[in-house]
Structure 1
Amino acid sequence: MKDKKIFTDKKFITIIATLCCLLWGSAYPAVKSGYELFNISTGDIPSKLVFAGYRFSIAGLILLVIAQRYGKKIFNISKKNTLDLFYLGIIQTTLQYLFFYIGLANTTGVKSSIMNSTATFSSVILAHYIYKNDKLNVQKTVGCVVGFIGVMIVNFSSDLLNFSFNFSGEGFIIIAAFVFSVGAIYGKKLTKSMDVMVVTGYSLFLGGVILVFIGVVFGGRVYHFTTTSSILLIYLALLSSVAFSLWNLLLKYNKVGPVSVFNFLTPIFGVILSAIFLGENIFEYKNIIALVLVSSGIWMANKEKVSNHQNIVKVKKTV
């Protein structure tokens, strides 16, 4: 009950959701920098999967160790829940980041930040068919349309005359975004009967181990461990463990919409940080227009309308 009171407080939701988006936004330049620090070439997909697997395996272990220290039962899991955790690990970690890591290698951090925002629109559309209290309305529909227009614009050339779309780059980022949406909804279901930290820890660890296995089977290797590359890997692992566990806690106690509305910050943070750390140009007209449209679309698609009755209640409380 204490967690519910904290994680349903609007100010706390704003702070935590913003932190999660900042962490996820920093992943774009961090992962691309990791490719360079670990000497992973653009075409070396198996090694990229091993790199991703190391990150998420470590992240999962960190969460499980912390969970056990706080007295949570991490080994007392039913057969059904074990299977559910395995499925979640495949969806939320293995599949999502298989597409994400390959896609990010084949496009820029700026484009990836904007393209990945389609996860929000996918979540809104999926929620319409899954939750009775989270249906599409005119505002959400317009928000999704505006956001998708922004996603389309970022794939045009600077003069907006030529359209460029690489399926193994931008296409894979969109697929990763959709898989993230599916994983988030499936994870929300699991956290109703299981502890959020345990669910997140196992999904990251199991998904990460599978990524390492797939990468190694196809000849992937990650050798070049230096102080800098190791620190970056640890940061990426902590980023995942902190962001995913906090986000899943917010989803556990709130509807998808009010939490997902903050996702408009992820492409903003991702674009800015990619410009700072990767030296990518964000000041092209198409990037600015796309970022504004995508962020506005996310906000519109997830912001809940306040009914007249709610307004009356709020007025009475302030008098």
Structure 2
Amino acid sequence: MTKLDSEKIFTNRKIVILLASFCCILWGSAYPGVKSGYALFKISTSNVFSELSFAGYRFMLAGLMVLIFAVLSSKKIFSITKGNIKHLILLGLMQTTLQYIFFYIGLAHTSGVKASIMNSTSAFFSVILAHFLYKNDRINSKKAIGCILGFIGVLLVNFSSQLLSFDIKIVGEGFIAVAAFAFSASSIYGKKICENMDSTIVTGYQLLIGGLVLLILGISNKGYVTNFTLSSTLVLLYLGLLSALAFSIWTILLKYNKVGSIALFNFLIPVSGAILSSIFLGETIFNWENGIALVLVCIGIYIVNYRHKS
């Protein structure tokens, strides 16, 4: 497939919407997946370093999967310059290591409701950063409306009495916001790197490098992952596979499209996460919050991505 063919495919609006939604549903499935992984590996949610080790295994596995696919696709994964190596290391530290360190530490000091809401601010960060970095990706009324509808959807899906409490802790909600910003900034940085490198190779190395650092940090602080069984290993393999697929596709979409139009799909993650958690963790799924939240997020995405026919 030539570069022109790839650009034609990955800028097709229907394909973009389908693939971006698929990525966010995959990331949403990580919510019940990680919870199940903690239970099967007997990792306490208060044991941050064991969580970092678990994340390290997950992202290293994902990186290896992507690089193996690249090799099978006849891509030269070792033909990278010293300058590119520096970019890949920085991207891995930002998009995987830094993001998940702040996310897990923040999650340990706040509620799941507030974490989900604060994490959804990555869409806002992406739209704002793109506004200042790209002349053809300015904030307009459609993006503003899309962001507002998406955020309202996230608030609804996490609706509880906790939303009435506005106390914000730097180490809690503040760290989750930093993690969201790290994801947004690194996504744009990755888009820049992919101008001169194959997006599959970029994704594979950033996941592998970021995961390796997470694992080293976890193990060096006695955060071990034990109790490997068939069930726990299958969950880990699934988490690795979903990360490999989602990050690979997301990187390609960002390479060929405006950041602002893709970022809005991030609001689907907490919504799909809540719905999938309801299905796989045996919680109540048929409630008005989930339904209205999904509708609002979809309307917001539609508004931003709608194009008038010439």
The two structures share one fold, judged by TM-score above 0.5: yes
Q: What's the CA shift for 1:245? A: 0.4
Q: Tell me which amino acid in the other structure corresponds to 1:4.
A: E
Q: 1:134 aligns with which of 133, 137, 144?
A: 137
Q: CA deviation at 1:268?
A: 2.0
Q: What is the CA distance between 1:104 and its match in structure 2?
A: 4.3
Q: Which residue of 1 aligns with 2:47?
A: 44
Please give the secondary structure, in 2, of the residue aligned with 1:25: helix
Q: 1:3 to 1:157 in 2, by over 3 A?
A: closer
Q: Determine helix, strand or coil for the equivalent of 2:161.
A: coil
Report how many residues are paired.
307
- 1:298: Cα distance to partner? 5.2
Instruction: Give, in whole Å, the separation in 1 of the partners of 2:147 and 2:100.
Output: 24
Equivalence for 1:316: none
Worse-matched range after superposition: 80-89 or 58-67: 58-67
- Percent identical pairs in the alignment equals 53
Larger Rg: 1
Unaligned runs of 5+ in 1: 314-319
Are residues 1:63 and 2:97 paired? no
Q: In 2, distance between residues paired with 1:272 and 1:3?
A: 33
Structure 1 equivalent of residue 279 of structure 2: 276
Q: How does 1:1-319 map to 2 (within 5 A)?
A: 1-104=4-107, 112-145=115-148, 147=150, 157-158=160-161, 161-163=164-166, 168-280=171-283, 291=293, 295=297, 299=301, 303-304=304-305, 306=307, 311=309, 313=310
Residue 29 of structure 1 and its aligned partner are, at CA, apart by 1.3
TM-score, normalised to structure 2, is 0.87
Call closer, same or farther: CA 1:274–1:110 in 2, change over 3 Å: farther
Question: Per the alignment, in what secondary structure is the counterpart of residue 127 of structure 1?
Answer: helix
Query: Could you say if the C-alpha distance between residues 294 and 205 of structure 1 is closer, same or farther in structure 2, counting changes exceeding 3 Å?
Result: farther
Question: Could you tell me how far 1:111 is from its partner in structure 2?
Answer: 5.3
Preserved contact between residue 62 and residue 243 of structure 2 (Cα < 8 Å): yes
CA drift of 1:10 comes to 2.0
CA RMSD of aligned residues (A): 2.9
**Could you tell me how far apart the structure 1 residues matched to 2:146 and 2:32 are?**
27
| Contact 1:155–1:163, Cα closer than 8 Å, also in 2 | no
The separation in 1 between residues aligned to 2:223 and 2:292, in whole angstroms, is: 36
5+ residue gaps, structure 2, are none
CA contact (8 A) 1:29 1:109 kept: no
Shift of 1:290: 9.1
- In structure 2, relative to structure 1, the CA distance for the partners of 1:128 and 1:161 (3 Å cut) is closer
Counterparts in 2 of 1:236 and 1:119: CA distance versus 1, 3 Å: same
How far has the Cα of 1:153 moved from its partner?
Answer: 7.1
Q: TM-score, normalised by structure 1?
A: 0.85
Q: Structure 1 residues 297, 121: closer, same or farther in 2, change over 3 A? A: farther
**CA offset digits 1:81-140 (Å, max 9, x no partner):** 000000000001001112233444556666544442211111001111111111112333
Query: Against the structure 1 CA distance between its residues 166 and 25, is the aligned structure 2 distance closer, same or farther, given a 3 Å change threshold?
Result: farther
Inter-partner Cα distance in structure 2 for 1:141 and 1:222: 43
Q: Deviations over 1:121-179 (max 9, x none)?
A: 11001111111111112333344455556666777743965446565554433322221
Deviation per residue, 1:55-103 (Å, 9 max, x gap): 0001101111111121111111111100000000000100111223344
After superposition, the Cα gap between the structure-2 partners of 1:135 and 1:187, relative to the gap in structure 1 and judged at 3 Å, is same
